[in-house]
């Protein structure tokens, strides 16, 4: 009977000396082998650059991190198991009991849950500032972190990033920008003065709706400071997912350029349609933050939100009639998808809070993919139907 000795079954042993793959290999391993005690001693002393354990570091994960750092113009980056893992790593890494966090209320719902449901339990004061309020005006002596997103979901309002970053820097407060909606192709918050960028890499960075991942990017000293939080909270990215993320990032520039172009065309087409009540897209001159968007973005993104005449009933009809466009949450992939904010991201939010956020029940949010824009318009045209009674005649 053959011996089941795993130590001798290394079919590709030595291949790393002879084979130079064009693509970064997937290091699908939890642990790494040491040759000797001396080898291990060198590692623990910090000088060898070797790997120990994949919760600490893994070459496939580092390959994705190097790509993201390059895209954001950052010294360093860290990828995580989800966007929420990145947010948790950043917030638990930066804040302690007694500290205060000032955050825009117009941020991802999960981020708000983490802040109000968890950080508060550990003695952090959380101040949420409604859309339109100046975050800087809410900073107090104990404020350590200011957290915001731009463009926001689903109204795509833009905050003046340079203004916020400068105000935080002046006061020695760490500013963090969730750059998920813009992607680094359209907006580079670090260049605008922000300290730390956060991503749901699930969205545009991966771009294919097949991976859940997150990321942080910023100065090496800040990313290093957050390493223990990722390591001990445990939100590391699996090597296979890191590979898929890195592969997605190879095409982000062409994907996002096309999505910008298609979204602009779709937004202009919708804005000219009498069946549509309003269109929110930062690339439209009618958008309330068009001027800010032009200053800080190099492209206006692939997200378009429109509202139809006839309230939720009319929005539901359009939502139920789309054929090419799929009904799904999330964003940033190659397939165009749409969602109803009041039934997804803003489900259960009070009427007063919806009004403060500018969210209405007749809104449909569209994440524009890579299909021919003519096909998307044809689909929306049939889905809009004859419009509500009255608008039709
Ligand atoms: C999706 C999303 C998140 C959360 O990311 P996950 O990858 O789902 O954990 C955070 N911020 C924004 C803006 C998002 O769209």
Catalytic residues, which ones? 55, 108, 178, 203
Separation of CA 84 and ligand 1 centre (Å)? 6
Q: Which of 17-26, 139-148, 264-273, 296-305 has the lowest mean pLDDT?
A: 17-26
The alpha carbon dihedral of 112, 367, 156, 259 has a sign of positive
Please give the mean pLDDT across all residues of the chain.
94
Q: Which of 331, 322, 306 has its CA nearest to residue 378?
A: 322
The answer on pLDDT for 90 being more than 70 is yes
Predicted TM-score (pTM) of this structure: 0.95
Q: What is the structure's pLDDT at 392?
A: 44
Is 110's C-beta closer than 6 angstroms to any atom of ligand 1? yes
Instruction: Please give the residue that has the higher pLDDT: either 349 or 7.
Output: 349
Separation of CA 357 and ligand 1 centre (Å)? 18
Q: Is 261 helix (H, G, I), strand (E, B) or coil?
A: helix
Average pLDDT over residues 359-376: 98
Q: What is the structure's pLDDT at 15?
A: 75
- Residue given tokens 């084979």 in the structure block: 19
Reported as a pLDDT band with limits 50, 70 and 90, residue 17 is confident
Average pLDDT over residues 117-126: 97
The answer on pLDDT for 10 being more than 80 is no
127 beta partners? 102
Residue 201 host element (H or E): none
pLDDT one-digit tens code per residue, 203-232: 999 999 999 999 999 999 999 999 999 999
Index of the ligand 1 atom closest to the CA of residue 153: 13
Q: What is the DSSP letter of 360?
A: -
First to last CA, the chain: 84
Index of the ligand 1 atom closest to the CA of residue 107: 13
Separation of CA 286 and ligand 1 centre (Å)? 27
Q: Who contacts 163 (Cβ-Cβ below 8 Å, separation ≥6)?
A: 136
Reported as a pLDDT band with limits 50, 70 and 90, residue 6 is low
Q: What is the structure's pLDDT at 47?
A: 78
Backbone φ and ψ of 70, nearest 5°: -65, -40
* Pairwise CA distance, residues 112 & 116, whole Å: 6
Q: What is the structure's pLDDT at 270?
A: 98
Residue 346 corresponds to which tokens in the numbers above?
């803003």
Ligand 1 pocket check: which of 79, 80, 84, 196 to mutate, most ligand atoms within 8 Å of Cβ?
84
Q: What is the structure's pLDDT at 5?
A: 56
pLDDT one-digit tens code per residue, 149-205: 999 999 999 999 999 999 999 999 999 999 999 999 999 999 999 999 999 999 999
Q: Whose CA is nearest to atom 12 of ligand 1?
A: 108
Q: Is 169 helix (H, G, I), strand (E, B) or coil?
A: helix
* Pairwise CA distance, residues 196 & 298, whole Å: 19
Separation of CA 110 and ligand 1 centre (Å)? 8
Is 310's C-beta closer than 6 angstroms to any atom of ligand 1? no
Q: What is the structure's pLDDT at 102?
A: 98
**All structural domains of the chain:** 4-249 (3.40.640.10), 253-390 (3.90.1150.10)
Average pLDDT over residues 83-91: 98
Average pLDDT over residues 14-35: 91
Residue 58 corresponds to which tokens in the numbers above?
């893994």
Q: Which of 3-12, 167-176, 322-331 has the lowest mean pLDDT?
A: 3-12
Is 200's C-beta closer than 6 angstroms to any atom of ligand 1? yes
């Amino acid at each position: 009977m053959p011996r089941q000795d795993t130590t001798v079954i290394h079919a590709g042993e030595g291949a790393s000396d002879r084979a130079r793959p064009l693509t970064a290999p997937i290091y699908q391993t939890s642990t790494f082998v040491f040759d000797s005690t001396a080898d291990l001693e060198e590692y623990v002393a910090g000088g060898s650059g070797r790997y120990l354990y994949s919760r600490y570091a893994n070459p496939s994960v580092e390959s994705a991190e190097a790509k993201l750092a390059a895209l954001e113009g950052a010294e360093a980056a860290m990828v995580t198991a989800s966007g929420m893992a990145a947010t948790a790593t950043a917030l638990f890494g930066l804040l302690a009991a007694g500290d205060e966090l000032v955050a825009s209320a117009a941020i991802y719902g999960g981020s708000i849950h983490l802040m109000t449901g968890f950080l508060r339990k550990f003695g952090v004061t959380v101040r949420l500032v409604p859309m339109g309020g100046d975050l800087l005006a809410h900073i107090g002596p104990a404020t350590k972190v200011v957290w915001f997103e731009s463009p926001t979901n689903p109204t795509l309002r833009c905050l003046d990033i340079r203004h916020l970053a400068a105000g935080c820097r002046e006061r020695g407060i760490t500013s963090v920008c969730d750059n998920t909606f813009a992607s680094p192709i359209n907006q580079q918050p670090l260049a605008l003065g922000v300290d730390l960028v956060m991503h749901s890499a699930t969205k545009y960075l991966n771009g294919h709706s097949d991976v859940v991942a997150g990321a942080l990017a910023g100065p090496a000293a800040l990313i290093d400071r957050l390493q223990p939080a990722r390591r001990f909270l445990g939100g590391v990215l699996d090597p296979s997912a890191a590979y898929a993320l890195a592969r997605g990032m190879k095409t982000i520039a062409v994907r996002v350029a096309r999505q910008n172009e298609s979204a602009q065309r779709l937004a202009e087409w919708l804005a000219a349609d009498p069946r549509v009540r309003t269109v929110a897209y930062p690339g439209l001159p009618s958008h309330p933050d068009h001027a800010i968007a032009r200053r800080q973005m190099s492209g206006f993104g692939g997200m378009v939100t429109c509202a139809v005449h006839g309230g939720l009933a009319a929005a539901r009809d359009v939502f139920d009639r789309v054929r090419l466009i799929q009904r799904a949450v999330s964003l940033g992939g190659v397939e165009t998808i749409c969602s109803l904010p009041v039934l997804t991201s803003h489900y259960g939010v009070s009427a007063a809070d919806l009004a403060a956020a500018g969210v209405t029940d007749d809104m449909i949010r569209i994440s524009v993919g890579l299909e021919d824009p003519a096909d998307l318009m044809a689909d929306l045209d049939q889905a809009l139907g004859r419009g509500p009674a009255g608008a039709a005649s």
